[in-house]
Amino acid sequence: MAADGFQFAFTPEIEALTLPAWEKVKRHVTPMEWRLQAPLIAEINRLKREKNAVILAHNYMTPEIFHGVGDFVGDSLALAKEAARCDAAVIVQAGVHFMAETSKILSPEKRVLIPDLRAGCSLASSITGADVRLIKQRYPGLPVVTYVNTTADVKAETDICCTSANAVQVVEEAARLWGVDRVILIPDEFLARNVARQTDIGIIAWKGRCEVHERFNAADILELKAAYPDAEVLAHPECPAEVLEVSDFAGSTAAMNDYVLKRKPKRVVLITECSMADNVAADAVDTEFVRPCNLCPHMKRISLENIYEALVHDRYEVTVDPAIAERARLAVQRMVDLPPPAKPARYDLVKARHHVDVELI
């Protein structure tokens, strides 16, 4: 049943239409749940065609969204690139508010909708544009590299954006272009510390944290490794450095996905948001997933029901002040225009470095 009370029937036609998605989600969704979800999925997909809309779904969306209605799925970097590229009239962002703002910044002519305006992010709310102006006064001449997990206001004060997939490359590129040996990398303290372990560029960092990844610690990972000695541990670089130090690999959500699909480990642990493993597992049938994980309450505000309502009622539109958007676009576009990194970002070279130069503001 949709949230507006409309009841859709699970007819044989709907069952046939949604069979490919069912094949992907059946390890995580019960047949009873599917009888309710499948008609909604079919209706959302029909509405998308009617309204010339696409759904950009982040890797942390639940499997029925990710596999059922997502037109483009991936990490923050892939979704930003897709927003710039796609030619739909409407983008429905199945993700959080900063992602919808990024889409609007890159595609001002499109209508960008987010199904729940409360889908925020602890990193994005840790810093304001005014904070960045103060930082720039304190460190004149240093380039400002900002994680995409920030508001448009913050991006407008930024020289170049980055994501977890390209942060090392962006930091080194910014230092080269500005002719300096230190850069400002905000607002994620842990991402900044993990990047600093891979480069000789000094980093000025801010004390923002991802509320999902900051809760992991090295002791839990070591306990897991003791219980499952053959499991390969993959951690997101928003985790504390101590977690990466005892992990086998670290990278963005897309890098984790690639690792599992290409290397086909027998057993794996993904130290990140809970839906990530569910979505990768659909295609990694020979891998067993050990599942300690933390839920992101912001990502989990997005549901099939509110995606359906977003399309029916054309809500909730995300707008960005054009003057802010114009300045923010420069920073995001610089990132989008970078060539793909020569090798994928890996943050687990931690052990190799002795000196890590981070100044925390």
Residues that bind ligand 13P (CB under 6 A): 59, 75-77, 149, 163-165, 210, 238, 252-253
Query: Out of ligand 13P, ligand SF4, none, which partner does residue 163 contact, by CB within 5 to 8 A per kind?
Result: ligand 13P
Q: Nearest-CB residue to ligand 13P? A: 75
Q: Exactly one of 38, 191, 296, 318 binds ligand SF4 (CB under 6 A); which one?
A: 296
Cα 99 from Cα 348, distance rounded (Å): 27
Would you mind telling me the total number of residues written for the chain in this entry? 361
Closest CA to 57 of 44, 46, 142: 44
The partner in contact with residue 76, picked from ligand SF4, ligand 13P, none with C-beta cut-offs of 5 to 8 angstroms by kind, is ligand 13P
Other beta carbons within 10 Å of 69 = 26
Chosen residue from 92, 94, 123, 145 binding ligand SF4 by CB under 6 A: 123
CB of 212 to ligand SF4, least distance (A): 4
96 binds ligand SF4, rule: CB under 6 A: yes
Alpha carbon distances (Å) from 150 to 2, 204, 292: 32, 17, 27
Neighbouring residues of 143: CB distance < 8 A, sequence distance ≥ 6:
159, 160, 174, 175, 177, 178, 180, 183, 184
Tell me the window of 1-9, 197-205, 278-286, 295-303 that interacts with ligand SF4 (CB under 6 A).
295-303
Pick from 169, 164, 105, 171: nearest CA to 143: 171
268: tokens are 């794996």
Identify the CA nearest to 37 among candidates 56, 54, 53, 24: 24
How many CB atoms are closer than 10 A to CB 219? 11
Of the listed pieces 41-49, 157-165, 204-212, 305-313, which binds ligand SF4 according to CB under 6 A?
204-212
Of 109, 250, 56, nearest in space to 168 by CA: 250
210 near ligand SF4, judged by CB under 6 A: yes
For 98, the token pair is 């900063």
319-339 burial: b if 16+ Cβ within 10 Å, else e = ebeeebbebbbebbebbbeee
Query: Segment near ligand SF4 (CB under 6 A), from 27-35, 120-128, 136-144, 328-336?
Result: 120-128
| Site for ligand SF4 contains 122 (CB under 6 A) | yes
* Residue 41 engages ligand SF4 in binding (rule: CB under 6 A): no
In contact, 168 and 201? CB cutoff 8 Å:
no
Query: Which CB atom, from 41 or from 277, has the smaller least distance to ligand SF4?
Result: 277
Contacted by 309, from ligand SF4, ligand 13P, none: CB < 5 to 8 Å by type? none
Among 273, 278, 309, 348, binds ligand SF4 (CB under 6 A): 273
**194 is a contact residue toward ligand SF4 (CB under 6 A):** no
The interface with ligand SF4 within residues 9-28 (CB under 6 A) comprises none
Q: How many residues bind ligand SF4 (CB under 6 A)?
A: 13
- Separation CA 279–CA 164 (nearest Å): 19
192 lines the binding site for ligand SF4 (CB under 6 A): no
Query: Interface with ligand SF4 by CB under 6 A: which residues?
Result: 96, 121-123, 149, 210-212, 238, 273, 296, 298-299
